[in-house]
Structure formats: C-alpha cells, structure tokens
C-alpha cells in the first residue's frame, strides 16, 4: 500500500472509522485507561502519557505504511466506542489485526462491523497487504469465533507468561475468493427472486 492511496476514513452502516493520531488523546483516553477494555492488549492499561506515545506510534505507522489504527465512531451520534486496525507487532510476528472496544459497546456487533471493513480495505486494495494475522488469548472465545467467521485459520500458538496465545492467519487470496463467492451467491439469490 502506498501512503498516498490510503483513505483515512472508512464507513460501515452504523460506524465511521477514522485514523487515530496524537490529537485524539482526549477521545481515546477513556478506552486506553479502562482495565476491562485493555486487559488483552499488549500495552495494557495506559495513563495519559503512555496513551499519547501510542497515538504518536499510530500516526507514524499511518504515514509510512498507509494503514494503521482507526477510531470507531457511531454514525448516529458521533460517539467514540473503540479502536480497530492493523499494526506491526513488536514481537516480529507480522502485521496484525487489533481491536478494543469500550465495555458498553460490546455485544452489539460493532467489532465485527469495524474489522470486516478494515480487513476488506487492507486486503482488497490493488497494492494491499498479502496477509494479516490476529493474535488472541486462548480464553478469548468471542474473538476466536469472530476471527474464524472472517476466514482466519489457526496457525500456531505460544505462551506469553502463563497465558496461551493463538496465532491466526488470513491471506489476501483467501479473502478475495471468499468475497467472490459471497458476491456470486448474492447474484444467484437475486436471479431466483420473482
């Protein structure tokens, strides 16, 4: 992906996703300082200074990679509910899907809506990514189900301290084939309708 080809705002039926940077510190601090929201994230709970440093990292990644972290906002009331995107993991595993939502926004399908749009953006572009991963703890059944529903396959596992981590992978070629099949099924269904 080239930095000039990347839109920094994506839309879904209920959300708009906007690239995050240092100017968003007051917006993201309630998420980044919430133990329930950040318990599974590599960086863990953050104070204002740490959150600001993370946002600077997001901005730098956007400027060099044309992909990064988006803030998820509701379209109807412009409310920040979480963040989702793709970042390079510091442990060398590769470009990974990441997301975290405020507890009040969970269980409403927002994560699925946001990450589906982000994956589609990242993998369907002509100069898009060839592959992304998702690293999930083995007790995070909701995220495992979401990853598998989206076409990620379990590749291997490792331990971070006492917690078992699962590494899922998704290739652009599989994503493209899956989307073509979905488009075909929609067309067939439409042709059968009276």
Structural domains of the chain in order of their starting residue, each with its CATH number: 3-192 (3.40.630.30)
> What is the per-residue pLDDT for 93?
93
Cα distance between residue 79 and residue 15, in whole Å:
9
Question: Which residue's structure tokens are 């929609």?
Answer: 186
> What is the per-residue pLDDT for 7?
60
> What is the per-residue pLDDT for 4?
42
> What is the per-residue pLDDT for 5?
47
**Angle at Cα 31 formed by Cα 26 and Cα 36, nearest 5°?**
155
Average pLDDT over residues 106-124: 94
**Count of CA atoms in the C-beta half-sphere (13 A) of 33:** 12
Model confidence at 2: pLDDT above 50: no
pTM of the model: 0.88
* Mean pLDDT for the chain overall: 91
Phi-psi region of 107 (alpha: psi -120 to 50; beta: other; left: phi over 0): left
Tokens (6 digits) for 18: 């906007």
Report CA torsion sign: 136, 50, 27, 93: negative
pLDDT (tens digit, 9 = 90+) per residue, 117-140? Answer: 999 999 987 677 999 999 999 999
* 129 close to 120: Cβ distance less than 8 angstroms: no
């Amino acid at each position: 992906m080239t930095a000039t080809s990347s839109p920094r705002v994506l839309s879904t039926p209920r959300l708009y996703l906007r690239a995050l940077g240092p100017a968003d510190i007051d917006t993201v601090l309630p998420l980044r300082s919430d133990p329930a929201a950040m318990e599974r994230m590599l960086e863990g709970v953050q104070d204002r200074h740490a959150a600001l440093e993370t946002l600077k990292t997001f901005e730098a990644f956007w400027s060099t990679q044309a992909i990064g972290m988006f803030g998820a906002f509701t379209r109807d009331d412009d409310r920040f509910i979480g963040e989702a995107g793709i970042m390079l993991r510091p442990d060398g595993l590769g470009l990974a899907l990441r997301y975290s939502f405020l507890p009040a926004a969970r269980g409403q399908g927002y994560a699925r809506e946001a990450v589906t749009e982000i994956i589609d953006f990242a993998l369907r572009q002509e100069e898009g990514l060839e592959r992304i991963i998702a690293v999930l703890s083995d007790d995070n059944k909701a995220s495992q189900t979401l990853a598998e529903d989206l076409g990620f396959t379990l590749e291997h596992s490792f331990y971070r301290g006492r917690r078992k981590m699962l590494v899922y992978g998704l290739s652009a070629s599989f994503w493209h084939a899956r989307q073509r099949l979905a488009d075909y099924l929609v067309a067939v269904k439409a042709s059968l309708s009276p």
